[in-house]
Structure 1
């Protein structure tokens, strides 16, 4: 079931209704250069309320405290108060950073998310996890808080380059692997070009929302949503400032292959399922051969899921089932990275 605060449909209509049903002292959009051009501009002629626009630089490398400080400063200049609303219109970086900014400005103002990328629609805007990076470590600073509303307009996906769309699709694959074997079979048998994005987005939101409802603050079952992310985040961080940049979803797709390999190592999934997962992901993505194993391991040690300086991860119990809080030997992570390289 999709939660009541998540609305799927025409952003122009849903946003106007939300603003009309509330009495905000000020309204502002937080956008990056891309969402300002491709998403806000088409909306502007339909908006009947007054609003300000704050523009940030896009990209994971800008999801940090200095960007937050710039936005907070702008909110002060624009005289935003506790009755104001911040509308985060953009991808995962805008959703994460904008939600964090709103949650901490004056101890919290209202905010809504209008996710414009597949990644944000199925993941970043759902579940109330808001975070920014510190010293290039992923989502190290953050809070738990649900937005007042999430407006999902599938039409925004038409503005995305294929690589960005595929990056978001990694989270869809993850949801299938941890919770829905049938859905994984379905997406495996559909040509990429024939995907029904509205159905895929709705289904992914239902899977994630059901898990989050049981465990908002990630003390138990919600941890399975991190499948592929222990190794994936370490890879993403390692390559963030290198010439060969790896997108979030691409890093997570590698992480899922590696953590599936480790699941097989512990006899939790069979070889047939490991091959199925690996082959499908490599069919979808053009992924680079990895180097910098030592740095990847170092970054894995900074993962916020770790306890007592031990690397913790999620492992599959089969396609559609997942466990959490497994301790990882760094040598096994290296073996999984070598497995990935061999499969390219």
Structure 2
């Protein structure tokens, strides 16, 4: 499968990943290699990765605790101390093996350690393969507020080996699927249509879908790396989705929602808003709602939950001059950004979602 060329780096697939490492991670280029994994990927993915990683450069392993709750500056401090104690210098390489939490945090650690060292992302979850590891966004959460601290900095390469998906539970696979659905909704109706019937999906089909998702995101990011315009459409479903994810993280009575599960809800809500603002037809909205809820079910919200989520949304990092702007759909396959939305319409969207 041909590598996808991005701005300053390439995305490689399957066997080509390890050929890239063999040819590029050499003693002439790097003084030492550090591999960052969390407690899950360290056990499930790292043995396979290291078995195929042929290099003469010394390798050290860094392990962090798994889970979004650990995507914090405190975890970064621990990683920076570990790198220092193990002799990392500006010619060291950090390879992040894991899901979006690992690639986000690891990219930020590398981008800030000694004012920046090289890093490579090896996404092991479907979500990270199609979204988190592509596009140069790195960072951590601030409390329960998502991705409040970070930088945009591209990796040396992204290495996607779909065999790591065999280690994922079903809910993690669905979490990644949400971002793939988003790619179809915002800019490729034909791609969206491929998800209308997943009953005959094969492994080869999944690889092709992943490849297409990476191309879609890469095409958008390459035109607007720093998110001044077009790249904002990738935030469809995220304005409310991130607030929902944060709320479920901070409420001890709530069961934690995975990122994609929260974004799926956000996409239904923001599709309803699109419909009520005459950007989306009723048939289009109904199709979106039925497809997403058939895959993810419906999550219950009390009135107090909705008000708290709207309050959290006001801290969204995408807000400008005190106003939160939304990405909405102008038909399936096209998105518009910087759309203001009043709170009463958001409440109506929740009520329709629950109805």
* TM-score grouping bracket, smaller chain normalisation: over 0.9
Cα deviation 1:217-263 (Å, max 9, x = unaligned) = 00001000000000000000000133311110000000000000000
Report the counterpart of residue 297 of structure 2 in structure 1.
286
Cα distance in 2 between the residues matched to 1:67 and 1:192: 41
Q: Is the 8 A contact 1:15 1:151 kept in 2?
A: no
Equivalences, count: 342
Cα pair 2:136 2:154 within 8 Å, conserved: yes
Match of 1:172 among 180, 197, 206: 180
Aligned to 1:277: 288
Equivalent residues in 2 for 1:172-251, closer than 5 Å: 172-191=180-199, 193-194=201-202, 196-241=205-250, 242=252, 243-251=254-262
Q: Which runs of 5+ in 1 are unaligned?
A: none
Q: Given the alignment, which residue of 3, 6, 12 partners 1:7? A: 12
Q: Distance in 2 between matches of 1:154 and 1:176?
A: 21
TM-score normalised by L of structure 1: 0.96
Q: Which position in structure 1 is the counterpart of 2:138?
A: 130
Contact 1:310 1:328 in 2 (8 A): no
Match of 1:45 in 2: 51
The DSSP-based 3-state class of the residue aligned with 2:45 is helix
Matched, 1:25 2:38: no
Counterparts of 1:20 and 1:54, CA distance in 2: 20
Q: Which runs of 4+ in 1 moved over 4 A?
A: none
Distance 1:24 1:323 in 2: 44
Q: CA offsets, 1:92-140, max 9 Å, x none?
A: 0000000000000000000000000000000011111111111211101
Residue in 2 aligned with 1:338? 351
Please state how far the C-alpha of 1:8 moved relative to its aligned partner: 1.1
Greater shift, 240-249 or 69-78, is seen at 240-249
State which of 277, 283, 293 in structure 2 corresponds to 1:266: 277
2:152 to 123, 144, 155: 144
Instruction: Evaluate the alpha carbon distance shift between residue 127 and residue 22 of structure 1 in structure 2; reply closer, same or farther with a 3 A threshold.
Output: farther
Are the aligned partners of 2:298 and 2:354 in contact in 1 as well (CA < 8 Å)?
A: no
TM-score by structure 2 length?
A: 0.93
Contact 1:235 1:296 in 2 (8 A): yes
Equivalent positions of 1:319-330 (< 5 A) are 319-330=332-343
Distance in 1, Cα, partners of 2:54 & 2:338: 49
**Shift of residue 2, structure 1, vs aligned partner:** 2.2
Query: What secondary structure, in the 3-state scheme, does the structure 2 residue paired with 1:29 have?
Result: strand
User: Contact 2:138 / 2:153 at 8 angstroms: preserved in 1?
Assistant: yes
Structure 2 residue runs of 5 or longer lacking an equivalent are: none
Q: Output one character per residue of 1:65-107: Cα deviation in whole Å (capped at 9) or x when no partner.
A: 1001000010000110000000000000000000000000000
Classify 1:194/1:283 alpha carbon distance in 2 versus 1 (closer, same or farther; 3 Å).
farther
